[in-house]
Structure 1
Amino acid sequence: MTLDDATATLLAQLAAAGGPPMHEVTPVEARARIAGLAQLYPPGPEPDRSEDVLISGPGGELPARVLVPSNPRGILLYLHGGGWVVGSIAEHEALGRQLAEATRCTVVLASYRLAPEAPWPAAVDDAWAALTWVDAHRSELAVTGAPLVVAGDSAGGNLATILARRAREDSGPAIALQVLVYPVTDHDFDNASYTDPANQLALNRDTLRWFWDHYVAAEHRDHADVSPLRAEDLAGLPPAVVVTAEHDVLRDEGHAYAERLRAAGVAVDHRDFAGQMHGFFTMVGLLPAQGEALAHVAQLIDLHLAQEGAIR
């Protein structure tokens, strides 16, 4: 299937704006470009309460934004994407507001140190600090014992998978569900989705290589806390919602990770969105499929949290 009309139009508009591809600019320039795109998003629904907090991390204090709906019944820790190099909580606030309203969960948008200034494992360590902070504040963020969902897109999805596995291995916080939106799970730049000419769009093979080169040295890339698809054991992890996009270089590794989870006995709901490209889930107000995907994820979160409540 070809790209849908809305995506093709958006890509044409971005191309008309000019400028070199992301992998030919500096990280600082790339961050400014992504921040400029986010200014096109509408603000999103107003939460009942919004608060900025600082989380103590191994490299210093980490800003986080807490978006609280009326009578929250759960907590959703969201880790933004951006190849571990770009992205911010401010650029994801519109999405966070949508998630808070649609799921009736308190959404915590957590930041982490970016590469190349802070290479791996800084982002992993900061994400773990955010998870432990949320766990320690459950009764303040929602009801006492509220179920906790970890979620993220792209590099944030990578971090969410790592948190779920580390929590299992280290007897860490109880996680009810992991939501993985086109997650980075491997460093295979030669699979079918990476090399498909139809997938060389806003995010392409060269850009991913640029992200990886800034984030982690080649000798560490097989580590499970870098490439979760290469983890030896995925049994006993929380149920997973996996979203992938048809025209995304990360499509095949997202499919593969969903299948690895299933093979390990983990309950998985995986949907591949036809005609979509990488990044569509966060493009609030720009792509119709964004709303469709958000509703899909919110419905599955609702089902899982309803089951969690029944168990409790």
Structure 2
Amino acid sequence: MPLHPFMIELLQKLAGRPALSAGTPEDGRLMVAAGRAGLGRGPGMHHVNDVTVPSRRRRTPGRLFYPSAIPDGLILYLHGGGWVLGALDDYDTYARTLAAETNFAVLLLDYALAPEHPFPAGLDDCVDAITACIDGTVPGMTVNRPLVVAGDSAGANLATVALGKVARRKEVALQVLYYPVTDCDFGTGSYAAHGKGLPLTGRDMRWFFKHYAPSNLWASPDISPLKSNNLADMPPAIIATAEYDVLCDEGEAYAQKLRDAGVPVTLRRLDGLAHGFVRLHNLFDAPMDELRKVAAEIRATRAPQHISGD
């Protein structure tokens, strides 16, 4: 399918802008932050709290979005950004919309970023946050409601890798992975086809990996979960890839590997879209349609007692 007209227009607007990998990590963070205003506002919430989540290294900051007084569950969302970029404010609009569409509280986690905090610091934060959500020690949340762990890009990588390290992972109702990083192979067909001229380039991905961890660790299943041989008891997965994305092939290969391990998987490729579409839901129909589709799948994890609000 041809690249979506909105994506073509977006690329034209970004023409001449430095690549994410052209400067320092702080340059990249400022570049991402500069685009926040263009994403629009998210819906109003019942309330929003800044919280801290217990971790082995520190108390990890987060932001908890309540769409109603009694949400039906909790979504732990791990933002993208190549393990290097991304902040709570960059995903505020998306988290509000996801909460409103699901009536699940959404916890955005401000996990530790590389290179200041290289692998496995951010991963450890995510493992501990999932454990805290299962245990009910996240401030203001109660147990016995469905827990969904979700993320996009490097956040999706952290979500699925962290789940593999949580002893009680079968208590997680669903993992939702948008265009996940699952391998360190830069020679796939999607890297060859889409490695230049799009929002995420092959050069960007190499830059992210180099900041995240030493190259001798990249093939570890803790960084490249496609190489894991221990996926059999993972939670059911929804994986969404983008046709025009260097990560498309590895995301779909990971879906197949989960299926081969007996994990229920729903896989969707969003034709005509490029990496990063998740946060563009306010701007054109295709990402919003996908958000509403996954919201319905998340709502379906509710048990009758959660619907009644007891």
Q: How does 1:235-250 map to 2 (within 5 A)?
A: 235-250=232-247
Q: Structure 1 residue 230 and structure 2 residue 227: aligned?
A: yes
RMSD: 2.0
- Residue 252 of structure 1 pairs with residue 254 of structure 2: no
Gap change, CA 1:233 and 1:174, over 3 Å in 2: same
Which residue in 2 is equivalent to 1:46?
44
Partner of 1:106: 105
Aligned mates of 2:228, 2:306 — CA distance in 1: 31
**Bigger Cα displacement from structure 2, 132-141 vs 34-43:** 132-141
Q: Does 1:164 align with 2:163?
A: yes
Secondary structure of the equivalent of 1:166?
A: coil
Q: Give the superposition deviation at 1:141.
A: 4.4
Question: Does the residue aligned with 2:30 lie in a helix, a strand or coil?
Answer: helix
In structure 2, the residue matched to 1:59 is 57
The one of 4, 25, 29 aligned to 1:31: 29
Separation in 1, partners of 2:6, 2:45: 28
2:217 equivalent to 1:220 = yes
Amino acid at match of 1:150: V
Q: Distance in 1 between matches of 2:193 and 2:254?
A: 19
SS of residue paired to 2:101: helix
Measure how far apart 1:197 and its partner are: 4.4
Deviation at 1:39, TM superposition (A): 2.0
Look up the match of 1:190.
187
Conserved in 2, the CA contact under 8 Å of 1:156 and 1:183? Answer: yes
Indicate whether 1:290 and 2:282 are aligned: no
Classify the secondary structure of the residue corresponding to 2:232. coil
Q: Secondary structure at the match of 2:182?
A: coil
Q: Which residue number corresponds to residue 14 of structure 1?
A: 14
Q: Which runs of 5+ in 2 are unaligned?
A: none
Q: CA offset at residue 140 of structure 1?
A: 6.0
Counterpart position of 1:135: 134
What SS does the corresponding residue of 1:40 show, helix, strand or coil?
A: helix
User: TM-score, length-normalised on structure 2?
Assistant: 0.93
Q: 2:208 aligns with which of 192, 211, 225?
A: 211
Q: Which residue of 1 aligns with 2:80?
A: 81
Q: Displacement of 1:134 after TM fit?
A: 2.1
In the alignment, the residues of structure 2 paired with residue 197 and residue 254 of structure 1 have an alpha-carbon distance, to the nearest angstrom, of 14
Per-residue deviation, 1:180: 0.4
Percent identity, aligned pairs only?
A: 41
Cα distance, 1:309 vs structure 2: 6.5
The 8 Å contact of residues 73 and 143 in structure 1, kept in 2 or not, is answered as no
Q: Which amino acid aligns with 1:25?
A: G
* Aligned length in residues: 306
For the residues of structure 2 that align with 1:109 and 1:139, how far apart are their CA atoms? 12
Q: CA deviation at 1:121?
A: 0.5
Aligned residue for 2:117? Answer: 118
1:163 CA drift (Å): 2.1
Compared with structure 1, are the counterparts of its residues 88 and 261 closer, same or farther at alpha carbon in structure 2 (3 Å cutoff)?
same
Deviation at 1:295, TM superposition (A): 0.8
Separation in 2, partners of 1:129, 1:5: 41
- Residue of 292, 296, 301 corresponding to 1:304: 301
Residue 51 of structure 1, CA deviation: 0.3
Q: Confirm whether residue 92 of structure 1 aligns to residue 86 of structure 2.
A: no
How far the C-alpha of 1:305 sits from its partner, in A, is 3.0
For residues 39-63 of structure 1, give each alpha carbon's deviation from its aligned partner in whole angstroms, at most 9, with x where no partner exists. Answer: 2112201111110012233433321
Q: Structure 1 residues 194-203 or 249-258, which shifts more?
A: 194-203
1:271 aligned residue (268, 283, 298): 268
Distance 1:191 1:102, change over 3 A: same
- Contact map agreement 1:139 1:146 (CA 8 A) in 2: no
What displacement does 1:142 show?
Answer: 4.7
CA distance in structure 2 between the partners assigned to 1:172 and 1:276 by the alignment = 31
TM-superposed deviation, 1:131: 1.6
Deviation at 1:171, TM superposition (A): 3.7
* Deviation sequence 1:172-194 (CA, Å, 0-9, x none): 57211100010100010000001
CA distance in structure 1 between the aligned counterparts of 2:296 and 2:40, rounded to whole angstroms: 22
C-alpha distance after superposition, 1:102-157 (max 9, x if no partner): 11111000111111111101110011122223233369645541111000000000
Q: CA contact under 8 A between 2:169 and 2:235: conserved in structure 1?
A: no
Change beyond 3 A, Cα 1:307–1:156: farther
Q: Deviations over 1:82-115 (max 9, x none)?
A: 0000001111011101111111111000111111
